[in-house]
Amino acid sequence: MSANPDIVRATWKKYHHLWKREEANARHVLLNEGDISRKIYVLDKGCIRNWFYHDGKEISFQFFFEGDVVYSPESFRKNTPSQFSIEAIEPVSLRWLSQKDMDLVREDPLLYNEMIERSADKQAEFMRHFFSYLKNTPQERYKLLLQQQPEIIKRVPLQHIASYLGITPVSLSRIRNRR
């Protein structure tokens, strides 16, 4: 359960001096697949996707919007190469912490728990999407996306949505036309 938003904001301000700001244009890559993640981002404005290459194609598997925490968890924590890229879909405004600065934030239970909670929410969203791959047809996955995450439909280019659903852009077009 999230803490009182006013208390969380006050706690964020306590660490204001650690946060660096970054602005980036659409298509800017924040982390390349194979590089080590050295930053943890909080997205203030814009949209970001996580993706990887498979058989010469970009596979989008997660989208992030305002307020989300974005990073490659395993790479960040274990200093291992990231298994995916992080790329801006829209122009973005971000705050980020280095690994060293994150160690200081970890010492504050309220803020650390808030960041963990945000990350856990995104992980749960990812798990729902993963199970949808196993249980549902592409048309059912699209319908669930419309119901559960309409922001993706509004803000993400169709080729990334098709990839996210595990279908071609042509198949997505057919599904959309059936509605």
d(CA 73, CA 124): 14
Q: Inform me whether the pLDDT recorded for 113 exceeds 90.
A: no
What is the percentage of the chain residues whose pLDDT exceeds 70? 97
Q: What's this model's pTM, rounded to 2 decimal places?
A: 0.88
Residue 78 CA: distances (Å) to CA of 36, 81, 100, 138, 174: 9, 9, 13, 35, 43
User: pLDDT higher for 105 or 86?
Assistant: 86
Average pLDDT (28-45) is: 96
What is the model's pLDDT at position 2? Answer: 58
Q: Token pair 């309220």 is at which residue?
A: 110
- The CATH fold of domain 5-108: Jelly Rolls (2.60.120)
* H helix runs in 1-51, sequence order: 5-14
State yes or no: pLDDT of 10 exceeds 80: no
Residue 4, pLDDT above cutoff 80 = no
**pLDDT range class, residue 16, cuts 50, 70, 90:** confident
Asked whether the beta carbons of 146 and 139 are under 8 A apart, the reply is no
